[in-house]
Each structure stands twice: as C-alpha cells, then as structure tokens.
Amino acid sequence: MRDVAARAKVSVGTVSKCLRGVSGIPPKTREAVIRIADEMRYRPNPLVSALMQSRRKRTGASGPKPVLAFVTAFPTANAWEKSDSPLIRLLYDGACTRAAERGYGLAHHWLFRDGMTNQRFGEMLRARGVRGLFLTPLPRLDMVIDLPWQHFAVVAHGLSVAHPVFHRTSNDHYQSMMLAMRECRRCGYQRPGFAMDGPLSQRLEHRWEAAFVIGREKLGFDTSVPSLLYDRWDPAEVCGWVRREQPDVIVGLLLKEQYKQLVAHGLRPPDQVGLVSLSVHELGGALTGIHQDARLLGRIAVEKLIDQVERNEIGVPAVPITLTVEGRWNTGQTLREPALSHAADHAI
C-alpha cells in the first residue's frame, strides 16, 4: 500500500479507503488509486484485511469472516432453491459447511441481481470484500459470464463454464458409467439403451455417452439399440422410444420426479425395463444408479477455493485442474435382482 501511495502521490490511508470503497474520497482520486493498484498488481491478503476490519470495528476475534460468493445464473434469484434437481442445494450445503470449518462465510449471489451487467456485478462483489467465487453450473449451454476475473479466485462445479476454463470439480463420468454398465451386466441385462438430454450431453463433452458406447462393446452387450438424445424432457417420447427399440434397461440422467412420470405413462420398472440414473442424490433411495455425493463435491470445491484465496491465486489459471470424485452405487429398486450365474461370477 505504501508503494501504491507513493506512485499515486497520496497517503497510505487514502489508498486504504479507496480500495475499501469508503465514501468521502473524490471520484478522480479513487479511480486513479484503483488503476495504479491494478497496474502494480496489488493483491490484498483477505485474512489480513478481515483482521484489520475487525480491529477498526473493535470486534476482536469474533468479527466479520472473509466471505466467499456462491454464484448462480438462473433466470430468477431463487430458481436453484425450487429446482426439481437438488444438485445446487446440496453443493451449497456442503460448501457452507466446509467454509465455516475454515473460518469463512459463504453467501449466495445471483448474477442478474437488480439487472446488473457482469462488470457491475463484479464491482459489487469487490466492494463487499469478496475475493473468492464458487461458480455453479450454468442453466444454458450458450451462456457466457464476463466478470473481471483478474480480481477473484474462482472454482467452478461441473463442465458448464467453457470459456474461460477455471479449476473445477466434477463427477468422474467415465468411472460412473462403467460402474453402471457392470452392474447392468451383473443383473443379466442384454440390451441397454442410453437416454439423455442432448444439450447436457454436449455440455459434459459427451463423456457419459462415450463411456456408454465403450462399456456396451467391452462388456459384450447387444449394441443395436440407438441412443435417445432429446432436446427437452418428455416422458411420452421416452416411453415411445422404449416400445419402439425395446431396450431391457435404460441408462441416463433421471431425476426422482422423471422416474415417477415414466411410471405414470405406463413404464413398469424393473419388471418391464430396468432404470439406472447417473445422478442419484440420496443413498438408500428407490432409484437405482450412481450417487455423486454433491455435498462432498461442494466441500472439495470450497477447500480448493480457500486455498487459492489464501495464496492470492486470482484470475484465469494457466493450467486448469479438474478434481473428479468417483460415483458410488445405490442399489435402489429399479433394477431386477442379479442373475445367479452373474452373481456367482461376481463373487469369484
């Protein structure tokens, strides 16, 4: 701060007030100080900043915690809280828990609050002392976020932020699909079919889709069932595909509500056809498939984010790292019992 003050020809106290957004500083002075600080790559230590704020307010050790932002970009501020999928809520729960354990706060921020532009949103976060952003999956494939990344440490969840690419957490899609295919084989299924939201499959770089094709071939399944990649979920379309192509098990991304809709349209799992969801959000639930453990993924994302904040690693990383977590099998009730011969092979 002394270096910035010397170059800007102001006092250290003025630099501090400019960077903290304190009122009473002439706009030209504030703009000049912030510009010079950026040019000199000044990076405040968030822990020291929190300590100094605590001392100024005489709040002691129980003063304000460094705050991280949990950023959503849905059409409305609370859409993530009302979504059929609990993914974002579970990420938030796990992230909040780990942030508190590390002495940080985590606050939700909606990207489009008050009609803000991305740049104004970034300025608002900076004014509030936010140094770390946890980006949640974007609701649309074509969405682009253009924040002033050079001021923030960033971790994203999933493969939804295409440009720029940040450090991110993700389910191990290949491992999860291969686990699902092995379980289908163990239960004696022969004709697996892959049904998936097409845009989502594209967002995931076709990782589930590719693993399905490889697993189907390597495990000796019938490969004649064409995949169903739909633009929008329609249980009638899925049921029509089942009647037409006759898979004996469906592998795809199925939510609990979608499973109920298929049953309402006449599908009878597991007697008529087996169902495997690649994202089961509760162990012990009725839906058979892969438990991704979104709470754990939220914890890991915040752990990585805090490490970046404390090392002042801000901006777009030169070499982005993806931290993957293996899926676990949830037995559920939508696959039939393992065939005896396959169960014996599995035991051996």
- List the chain residues with pLDDT less than 50: 59-62, 341-348
Does one domain contain both 136 and 261?
no
Does one domain contain both 209 and 343?
yes
Q: Does a cis peptide bond (omega within 30 degrees of 0) precede residue 270? A: yes
Of 192, 179, 177, 339, residue with least CA distance to 275:
192
Q: In this structure, is residue 55 part of a structural domain?
A: no
Q: 173-186 and 207-218 are packed helices; what angle lies between their axes, rounded to 10 degrees?
A: 40
Does one domain contain both 119 and 217?
no
Of 97, 1, 57, residue with least CA distance to 300:
97
Q: What is the CA radius of gyration of the chain?
A: 25
Q: Are 275 and 218 in contact (CB under 8 A)?
A: no
pLDDT at 117: 94
Does one domain contain both 32 and 125?
no
Q: Which helix (H) or strand (E) holds 345?
A: helix 340-347
236-281 tens-digit pLDDT: 999 999 999 999 999 999 999 999 999 999 999 999 999 999 999 9
pLDDT at 25: 86
Integer Cα distance of 206 and 203 in angstroms: 7
Does one domain contain both 85 and 37?
no
Burial 272-310 (b: 16+ CB within 10 A, else e): ebbbbbbbbbeeebebbbbbbbbbbbbbbbbbbbbebbb
Integer Cα distance of 310 and 31 in angstroms: 26
Does one domain contain both 183 and 287?
yes
Does one domain contain both 214 and 337?
yes
3-state SS class at 323 = strand
Q: Which amino acid is located at 58 in the chain?
A: R
Structural domain total, the chain: 3
Residue range(s) defining the domain that contains residue 303: 62-165+295-326
Q: Are 184 and 248 in contact (CB under 8 A)?
A: no
Does one domain contain both 334 and 203?
yes
140-163 tens-digit pLDDT: 777 888 999 999 999 999 876 556
Q: In this structure, is residue 119 part of a structural domain?
A: yes
pLDDT at 61: 47
- Bridge-based pairing of strands 67-72 and 105-110 is parallel
Q: What is the pTM of this model?
A: 0.79
Q: Are 298 and 150 in contact (CB under 8 A)?
A: no
3-state SS class at 71 = strand
